A and B are shown apart, each in its own frame.
Chain A
Amino acid sequence: MISTSLDQTLVKGHKNYGQITDELLANTEGRPPLWWLVGIGLGGLMLAFGGWAMYTSVTVGLGTWGLTNSVAWGWDIINFVWWIGIGHAGTAFTIFFLVFRQKWAASINRSAEAMTVFAVMCAGLFPLIHMGRPWLAFFIMPYPNTRLLWVNYNSPLFWDVLAISTYLIMSITLWYIGMVPDLATIRDRTKNKLRKTIYGIFSLGWDGSLYTYNRYETLMKLLGGLAAPLVISVHTIVALDFAVSVLPGWHATILPPYFFAGAIFSGFAMVLTLMILMRKVFNISDYVTLKHFDNIAHVLKYGSLVIGLAYAIELFLAWYSGVEYEIYTFFNARASGSFSTAFWIMVVCNAIVPQVFWFKKARKSLLSLFIVSVLINVGMWYERFVILVSSLAEDFLPSSWTSYQPTIVDIGIYVGTFGLFIVGMLLFVRFIPVIAINEVKPISRIGKENKKTEKHVE
Chain B
Amino acid sequence: MMKNNYWKSLEEKEGKNPVEELQEHKESSMIDVLANESNTKASSRRDFLKWCGISFVSATVLSACENPVKKAIPYLTQPEELTPGKGIWYASTYQHGNEYCPILVKNRDGRPIKIEGNYSSAITGGGTTARVQASILTLYDNGARYQHPRKNGQPITWDDADREIIARLKEFSAQGRKMALVTPSLLSPATKTLISQAQEAFPGLEVITWDPVSLEGIRQAHMESFGTAVFPEYRFDKAKLIVSFGADFLGSWISPAVHARQYAATRKISQDKPEMSRHIQIESRMSITGANADERIPVKPSEQLNILMALYNAMARATGNTGSEVPDVDYDVDSLARDILSNRGQSLIVCDHQSKESQVLVNAINIMAGNYNNTLLTENPLMTGMGDDTRFEQLLSQMEEEQYAAVIFCNSNPVYHFHDRERITKALNNTELTISFASTRDETAETCTYILPDNHFLESWNDAMFKEGHYSLAQPAIHRLFNTRQMQDTLLAWMGDDNDFHTWLKEYWSDTLFGKQSRYPDRDSFWMHSLQAGVFEHPVNPVVLPAIRMAAATEAIRTLRQYTAQNTGTEYLVYPHLSLYDGASANNPWLQELPDPVTSVAWDNFAAVSPAFAKANNISDGDVIRIGNGMTIPVLIQPGQADDCIAIALGYGRTQAGKAGDLVGSNAFPLIRKAGTARFFNGQLDAWEKTGDSHRFARTQTHFSMEGRPIVRESTLDKYQKDPAAGNELRAYHQKYALTLYPEDRFEGHHWALMIDLNACTGCSTCVIACQSENNVPVVGKDEVRRRRIMHWLRVDRYYNGEPENPGVVFQPVMCMHCDHAPCENVCPVAATTHSVAGINQMAYNRCVGTKYCINNCPYKVRRFNWFAYANNKAFDYHMNSDFGRMVLNPDVTVRERGVVEKCSFCVQRIQEGKLNAKSERRKLKDGEILPACVQSCPAGALVFGDLNDKDSRVAGLIKDPRNYHLLEELHTLPSVGYLTKIRNPKA
Are A70 and B867 in touch, CB under 8 angstroms?
A: no
Q: Give complex CA distance A403, B703 in Å.
A: 10
Mark interface residues in B777-816 (1 if CB within 8 Å of A CB, else 0).
Answer: 0000000100111100001011100000000000010100
CB-CB under 8 A from A60, the residues of chain B are 868
| Interface residue? B860 (CB, 8 A) | yes
In the complex formed, the residue of B with least CB distance to A244 is B827
CB-CB under 8 A from A151, the residues of chain B are 829-831
Are B847 and A396 in touch, CB under 8 angstroms?
A: no
Among A132-140, A218-226, A375-383, the one that faces the other chain is A132-140
In the complex formed, the residue of A with least CB distance to B869 is A61
Closest CB-CB distance, A290 to chain B, in whole Å? 45
Give the contacts of B827-851 with A (CB-CB under 8 A).
Answer: 827-831, 847-851
Among B508-516, B583-591, B895-903, B911-919, the one that faces the other chain is B895-903
Are A131 and B849 in touch, CB under 8 angstroms?
A: yes
Q: Give complex CA distance A402, B869 in Å.
A: 23
Q: Give complex CA distance A62, B850 in Å.
A: 10
Are B708 and A401 in touch, CB under 8 angstroms?
A: no
Given the contacts A398-B706, A399-B797, A150 and B899 also touching, CB distance less than 8 Å = no
CB-CB under 8 A from A127, the residues of chain B are 851
Closest CB-CB distance, B222 to chain A, in whole Å? 44
Given the contacts A61-B898, A392-B856, A245 and B865 also touching, CB distance less than 8 Å = no
Are A396 and B859 in touch, CB under 8 angstroms?
A: yes
Cβ-defined partner of B705 (8 Å) among A67, A140, A395, A398: A398
Are A156 and B830 in touch, CB under 8 angstroms?
A: no
| Interface residue? B971 (CB, 8 A) | yes
Q: Give complex CA distance A345, B831 in Å.
A: 38
Q: Give complex CA distance A428, B828 in Å.
A: 38
CB-CB under 8 A from A241, the residues of chain B are 853
Cβ-defined partner of B787 (8 Å) among A68, A140, A392, A397: A68
CB-CB under 8 A from B898, the residues of chain A are 61, 132-133
Mark interface residues in B851-889 (1 if CB within 8 Å of A CB, else 0).
Answer: 111011101110111111100000000000000000000
| Interface residue? A400 (CB, 8 A) | yes
Q: Give complex CA distance A131, B707 in Å.
A: 33
Are B849 and A140 in touch, CB under 8 angstroms?
A: yes
Tally chain A residues at the interface, Cβ within 8 Å. Answer: 50
Q: Give complex CA distance A67, B869 in Å.
A: 16
Given the contacts A139-B830, A140-B830, A245-B857, A63 and B823 also touching, CB distance less than 8 Å = no
CB-CB under 8 A from A152, the residues of chain B are 826, 828-831
Are B849 and A73 in touch, CB under 8 angstroms?
A: no
Are B849 and A63 in touch, CB under 8 angstroms?
A: no
CB-CB under 8 A from B787, the residues of chain A are 66, 68
Are B851 and A157 in touch, CB under 8 angstroms?
A: yes
Q: Give complex CA distance A152, B973 in Å.
A: 19
CB-CB under 8 A from B830, the residues of chain A are 139-140, 149, 151-152
Closest CB-CB distance, B862 to chain A, in whole Å? 9
| Interface residue? A155 (CB, 8 A) | yes
Closest CB-CB distance, B496 to chain A, in whole Å? 58
| Interface residue? B223 (CB, 8 A) | no
Closest CB-CB distance, A446 to chain B, in whole Å? 53
Q: Give complex CA distance A448, B581 in Å.
A: 95
Are A140 and B829 in touch, CB under 8 angstroms?
A: yes
Given the contacts A133-B900, A139-B849, A161-B829, A72 and B702 also touching, CB distance less than 8 Å = no
Q: Give complex CA distance A152, B847 in Å.
A: 12
CB-CB under 8 A from B869, the residues of chain A are 61
Are A132 and B868 in touch, CB under 8 angstroms?
A: no
Are B856 and A73 in touch, CB under 8 angstroms?
A: yes
| Interface residue? B701 (CB, 8 A) | yes
Q: Give complex CA distance A149, B829 in Å.
A: 12
| Interface residue? B711 (CB, 8 A) | yes
Mark interface residues in A140-181 (1 if CB within 8 Å of B CB, else 0).
Answer: 100000000111101111100100000000000000000000
Are B859 and A395 in touch, CB under 8 angstroms?
A: yes
Mark interface residues in A387-410 (1 if CB within 8 Å of B CB, else 0).
Answer: 000001011111111110000000
Q: Give complex CA distance A140, B829 in Å.
A: 6
| Interface residue? B968 (CB, 8 A) | yes
Give the contacts of B422-470 with A (CB-CB under 8 A).
Answer: none
14 contacts between A and B (CB under 8 A): A61-B899, A62-B850, A68-B789, A69-B790, A69-B861, A127-B851, A132-B866, A133-B848, A157-B853, A245-B853, A245-B856, A400-B860, A400-B861, A403-B702
- Listed in ascending order, the chain A residues whose CB lies under 8 Å from chain B are 60-63, 66-70, 72-73, 127, 130-134, 136-137, 139-140, 149-152, 154-158, 161, 241, 244-247, 324-325, 328, 392, 394-403
Closest 4 CB pairs between A and B? A132-B850, A132-B899, A63-B867, A399-B797
Additional 11 contacts, C-beta under 8 A, given A397-B967, A399-B812: A61-B899, A63-B789, A66-B787, A72-B856, A131-B899, A132-B852, A134-B849, A137-B849, A155-B827, A246-B823, A394-B703
